[in-house]
Amino acid sequence: MTTTIIGFPRIGENRELKFATEKFFRNEITEKDLLEEGKQIRKKHWLEMNESHLAQIPSNDFSFYDQILDTCFLFNLIPARLAAAKLSPLEKYFALARGYQGSLGDFKAWPMKKWFNTNYHYLVPQLAKETKIKLCGSKIFDEFREAKALGILTRPVLIGPFTLLKLAEFTDGTHYQDLVPDLLAVYTEIITKLGKHGAAWLQIDEPALVSDLDHEEQRFFKQLYETLLAKKGNLKILLQTYFGDVRDIYSELCKLPFDGIGLDFVEGRKTLELVQSGFPADKTLFAGVVNGKNIWRNDYQKTIKLIKDTNVKNYVLSTSCSLLHVPYTTENESFSPEITAHFSFAKEKLSELCDLDNILQTDKNELLRKNQQLFQKARIKENSSLAETINSLKEENFVRTPAFSQRESLQKEIFGLPLLPTTTIGSFPQTREVKKWRAAFKNQKLSQQDYDDFLKKQIKDWINWQEEIGLDVLVHGEFERNDMVEYFGQHLEGYLFSRSAWVQSYGTRAVKPPIIWGDIIRKAPITVKWSTYAQSLTSKPVKGMLTGPVTILNWSFPREDLPLKISAFQLALAIQQEVLDLEKNGIKIIQIDEAALREKLPLRKSDWHADYLDWAIPAFRLTESKVRAETQIHTHMCYSEFTDIIPAIEQMDADVISFEASRSNLEILSALQREHFQTEVGPGVYDIHSPRIPSVAEIKETIRAILAKVPKEKIWINPDCGLKTRGIPETKASLANMTAAAEQIRKELYR
């Protein structure tokens, strides 16, 4: 065994799983149909990995929505009320993923957060005293048997107990230690059953080990695995980590009786140093040397040197993390061969692992020589003027004047908004009709005039509707945009766009990250046309909607030949030009979304500032530093943990910040209160990733909870996020309830 991967993309080469699942949600196919589609996708993936000569293939890395949710259903870690509902197991599963509202009950979805430092979102387990842990599912065994029937002996994958408990939230006084005995009993039962089914290896994923661990956490991990590994029998256990290094617990990992240890050599800045300090001869090193997050070709010469520098003889070549985070294959793209040669998606990374293995095992110099030709000449020519501009930036280029307190007073006087002003985050439903017209225009089946007329009608209808329900600050709806990052990238020099390089973000939601190929320059105004048209239809303020530089960077595939800081500043200068053009054209409120601000934050606090915040926050400030005091700057952030970086967020110096808050039970409010947050805030009052329609009473209760923590003069009322993925009926009903709730609370406050 010399090559493997941690996991494979699961939405299908052409997003088959996404479309089948959405059909199931619309009652267009049966549960049996959906389960069969999943089975066929798994079969195709296993056969492709087998044909690529990958030595060991994972199973149970497939999921209909999320791997943490799968683990919770395997262990019965679900609310008792839902467990008792007269729904099928799959319906219960999707009820926790998306929420359920029907004749059989009303269930809210579990909170959703970013999976470590990626754009993938996981469901956060909500564990309570009523939680009765037991093995109640068979997915891990079923999929192992499926592959075995194809003649493929896989390595099942399972989220480890330490990471599961670290990511879970505990209610009604429950402590994670209360669950340990029963949880370990279930893991032991799984190990025993897998052994009986003929499995040789089990991969236990513990990515939480790459974050800062205190002595108590180290002790707890050791306690868990001393108990668990004592009962592993003949089944070999691979302890798999990714997204960083395990400096806090490396020595303990080496002492524990794991058969293999998987380490990340791409993001793990100390991984090589740790391994060079000594790696046990009785263990196999699963070396994560092929980047599982980015799409550039592996530099074989550097990787071979790295492997040799480890001085480890018993190793397996692997990816740095699951290939869930990259697209399926370059075979479906239409780039020129000269460009495609630089890219490696999931399927191509399988070949890279086999190439590296052949070079190391047989010294095949032809494979190495061909690879090195890619790296021997400059891929692009540097824009020297842009480089000079960035090098000449001074401190004053990142400072907005006057101070926030002066701007706040001026803006309240100018806009004259009521208490608890209502708005939305930006986008409205991207219906089939909208997508159909956009596709027709893209394929040159529709004239510019006809497409513009369609967009004008959409914008006018929604502006009128927003006025009807009483929203205070309106949006144009973003009907012309395919994606909040791709749309901007298409108007910037330096970007490339794939045809079908889809990556799962959460559940059925897939994104197609653009590729930063060269230096980034804004060629012409991007959003002015539609923002000014929308503003011409109403006397109420209409927000100009932009995506911030850090989010554009974090949701793109970045260059590997340039520091992230430089790419961020290139993007910031481009967005700054757009901000100033909007302001010049009469747009008085401009939202610069930084939904992904937290995403690339290092997992270790010691690396936060120097490696990220010291350039990410200035990049945002660069976009707004030249605007007038009376121009109100908003930003938006969602589906990440923000409570521990509130001081850094305040340093962004925006006038209003909206946060995702409803799924996380408004946890961020306590942090804002604790840090004496001065910026005006819009904590989301309902969850847009669920089709549930919140009632007026429910939203009023949420607003009252916000008022208990934030001064009423500082609060904005808005949904959690943009509404592009929702249907029109639920969107209109939810927003109407939101504005009604805000108006009723307003009357109470004005008494």
Between 751 and 589, the more confident residue is: 589
**Helix or strand (DSSP H, E) at 617:** helix 614-624
Q: What is the pLDDT of residue 65?
A: 97
Same-domain status, 270 and 412: no
Radius of gyration in angstroms for the set of CA atoms belonging to the chain, rounded to a whole number: 26
Counting other chains too, the contacts that 337-346 makes at CB distance below 8 Å and 24 or more residues apart are 339/496, 339/517, 341/297, 341/374, 342/296, 342/297, 342/374, 342/379, 343/295, 343/296, 343/297, 343/515, 344/295, 344/296, 344/297, 344/298, 345/295, 345/501, 346/8, 346/9
Tens digits of residue pLDDT in 78-120: 999 999 999 999 999 999 999 998 888 889 899 888 899 999 9
| Amino acid, single-letter form, for residue 600 | K
CA distance 287 to 265: 7
Q: What is the pLDDT of residue 1?
A: 62
Same-domain status, 413 and 370: no
Report the first-to-last Cα separation within the chain, whole angstroms.
74
Q: Which residues contact 61 (CB under 8 A, 6 or more apart)?
A: 6, 7, 8, 10, 67, 157, 322, 324
Q: What is the pLDDT of residue 598?
A: 87
Same-domain status, 360 and 425: no
The winner for highest mean pLDDT among 128-142, 172-186, 410-424 is 410-424
Are the beta carbons of 722 and 426 closer than 8 angstroms?
Answer: yes
- Tell me how far CA of residue 266 lies from CA of 286, 302, 698, 716, in angstroms: 13, 12, 46, 42
In the chain, how many domains are there?
A: 2
What CATH number should be reported for the domain holding residue 452? 3.20.20.210
Same-domain status, 540 and 456: yes
What is the rounded average pLDDT of the residues 540-566? 97
In a domain, residue 10? The reply is no
Catalytically annotated residue among 121, 476, 634, 689? 689
**Helix or strand (DSSP H, E) at 11:** none
Q: What percent of the chain lies above the pLDDT cut of 90?
A: 88
pLDDT at 473 over 90: yes
Same-domain status, 523 and 644: yes
In a domain, residue 508? The reply is yes
Q: What is the pLDDT of residue 186?
A: 97
Instruction: Give the range of the structural domain holding residue 280, as residue numbers without chain letter.
Output: 16-375
CA distance 14 to 16: 5
Same-domain status, 555 and 625: yes
Tens digits of residue pLDDT in 7-23: 999 999 999 999 999 99
How is residue 136 written in tokens? 């109640």
Q: What is the pLDDT of residue 556?
A: 96
Same-domain status, 346 and 440: no
pLDDT at 641 over 80: no
Question: If you ran DSSP here, which 8-state letter would residue 681 be given?
Answer: E
Question: If you ran DSSP here, which 8-state letter would residue 643 be given?
Answer: G
Q: Is 197 a catalytic residue?
A: no
Tens digits of residue pLDDT in 319-351: 999 999 999 999 999 999 999 999 999 999 999
Same-domain status, 614 and 551: yes
Question: If you ran DSSP here, which 8-state letter would residue 234 be given?
Answer: T
Are the beta carbons of 639 and 114 closer than 8 angstroms?
Answer: yes
pLDDT at 665 over 70: no
Question: If you average pLDDT over every residue of the chain, what do you get?
Answer: 95
pLDDT at 364 over 80: no
Tens digits of residue pLDDT in 248-286: 999 999 999 999 999 999 999 999 999 999 999 999 999
pLDDT at 666 over 80: no
In a domain, residue 35? The reply is yes
Query: To the nearest 10°, the Cα dihedral for 320, 322, 323, 326?
Result: -80
Q: What is the pLDDT of residue 669?
A: 85
Same-domain status, 388 and 370: no
**Helix or strand (DSSP H, E) at 102:** strand 100-102
What is the number of alpha carbons within 13 Å of residue 379 lying toward its C-beta?
21
In a domain, residue 610? The reply is yes
In a domain, residue 2? The reply is no
pLDDT at 629 over 80: yes
Peptide bond preceding 58: is omega within 30 degrees of 0, i.e. cis? no
Same-domain status, 269 and 388: no
Tens digits of residue pLDDT in 200-235: 999 999 999 999 999 999 999 999 999 999 989 999
What is the rounded average pLDDT of the residues 162-181? 91
Res. 74 pLDDT band, cuts 50 70 90: very high
Q: Checking DSSP bridges between strand 105-107 and strand 236-240, what pairing results, if any? A: unpaired
User: Considering only CA atoms, which of 648, 723, 739 is closest in space to residue 691?
Assistant: 723
Same-domain status, 409 and 368: no
**Helix or strand (DSSP H, E) at 277:** none
Same-domain status, 538 and 640: yes
Tens digits of residue pLDDT in 498-508: 999 999 999 99
CA distance 163 to 166: 5
3-state DSSP assignment of residue 100: strand
pLDDT at 377 over 90: no
In a domain, residue 683? The reply is yes
Q: Which residues contact 417 (CB under 8 A, 6 or more apart)?
A: 472, 473
In a domain, residue 399? The reply is no
CA distance 542 to 423: 10
